[in-house]
Amino acid sequence: MKKIIALLTASMLALTACNAPATQTTSDRAATESNNVLKFYNWGEYIGEDVISRFEDEYNAKVICEYYDSNEMMYTKLQAGDKYDVLIPSDYMIERLLNEDMLQPINKDEIPNMSNLTDSVKNLSYDSDNTYSVPFFQGSVGIVYNKTKISPEEIKNQGWEILRNEKYKDDIYMYDSERDAFMIALKALGYSMNTDNEKEIDAAYQWLLEQKERVNPVYVTDEVIDSMANGLKSMGVVYSGDAAYVLRENPDMAYFAPDEGTNLWSDAMVIPKNAENPELANKFINFMLEDESALDNTLTVGYTTSNKNVYEQVTADGGDFCDNEAYVIRTDNKKDEVFHDNEVIRAKLSELLIKVKA
Partner 1 sequence: MKSFKLMTIPYIIWSIIMIILPMVMILFYAFITKGNSVRQFIFTFDNFLKFFSDPVFFDVLKRSVYIALITTLFCIILGYPVAYIIARAKPKTSAILVLLVTLPTWINMLVRTYAWRSILQENGIAVALLTLMGIKNVKLIETEFAVILGMVYNFIPFMILQIYNSLSKLDENYLTAAADLGANRVQTFLRITLPLSVPGIVSGITLVFLPAVSSFFIPKLLGGGQFVMIGNVIENQFLTAGNWSFGSAISLIMAILIIISMYITRRLDAKITGDGGDDK
> Which residues of this protein are in contact with partner 1, per CB under 8 A?
1, 4, 170, 174, 176-178, 212, 216-221, 223, 227, 230-233, 343, 346-347, 350-351, 354-355, 357-358
Rounded to a whole number of angstroms, the minimum distance from the CB of residue 230 to partner 1 is 6
**Closer of 316 and 347 to partner 1 (Cβ):** 347
**Closer of 98 and 232 to partner 1 (Cβ):** 232
Rounded to a whole number of angstroms, the minimum distance from the CB of residue 324 to partner 1 is 24
Cα 220 to chain centroid distance, Å, stands at: 17
Rounded to a whole number of angstroms, the minimum distance from the CB of residue 178 to partner 1 is 7
Cα 296 to chain centroid distance, Å, stands at: 17
Q: Are strands 37-43 and 235-239 parallel, antiparallel or unpaired?
A: unpaired
- Residue 122: burial class (beta carbons within 10 Å; 0-12, 13-18, 19+): middle
Rounded to a whole number of angstroms, the minimum distance from the CB of residue 205 to partner 1 is 12
Residues 6+ apart with CB under 8 A from 182: 193, 201, 204, 208, 349, 352, 353
Closest CA to 357 of 236, 221, 170, 218: 218
Rounded to a whole number of angstroms, the minimum distance from the CB of residue 12 to partner 1 is 15
Say if residues 19 and 27 touch (Cβ distance below 8 Å): yes
**Closer of 4 and 316 to partner 1 (Cβ):** 4
Q: Are strands 133-146 and 304-305 parallel, antiparallel or unpaired?
A: antiparallel
Report CA-CA distances (Å) from 155 to 143, 152, 162, 232. 9, 5, 6, 18
Rounded to a whole number of angstroms, the minimum distance from the CB of residue 184 to partner 1 is 15
**Closer of 113 and 211 to partner 1 (Cβ):** 211
Cα–Cα distance for residue pair 156/154, rounded to 1 Å: 5
Report CA-CA distances (Å) from 68 to 43, 65, 87, 316. 5, 10, 10, 33
Rounded to a whole number of angstroms, the minimum distance from the CB of residue 35 to partner 1 is 38
**Closer of 193 and 280 to partner 1 (Cβ):** 193
**Closer of 165 and 227 to partner 1 (Cβ):** 227
**Closer of 96 and 233 to partner 1 (Cβ):** 233
| Beta-carbon-side half-sphere exposure of residue 199 (alpha carbons within 13 Å) | 1
Rounded to a whole number of angstroms, the minimum distance from the CB of residue 1 to partner 1 is 7
Rounded to a whole number of angstroms, the minimum distance from the CB of residue 231 to partner 1 is 8
Say if residues 172 and 257 touch (Cβ distance below 8 Å): no
Say if residues 201 and 355 touch (Cβ distance below 8 Å): no
What value, to the nearest 5°, has the Cα angle with vertex 161 and ends 156 and 164?
130
**Helix%, strand%, coil% for the chain, nearest 5:** 50, 20, 30
**Closer of 234 and 240 to partner 1 (Cβ):** 234
**Closer of 122 and 340 to partner 1 (Cβ):** 340
The backbone torsions φ and ψ at residue 136, rounded to the nearest 5 degrees and listed phi first, read: -120, -65
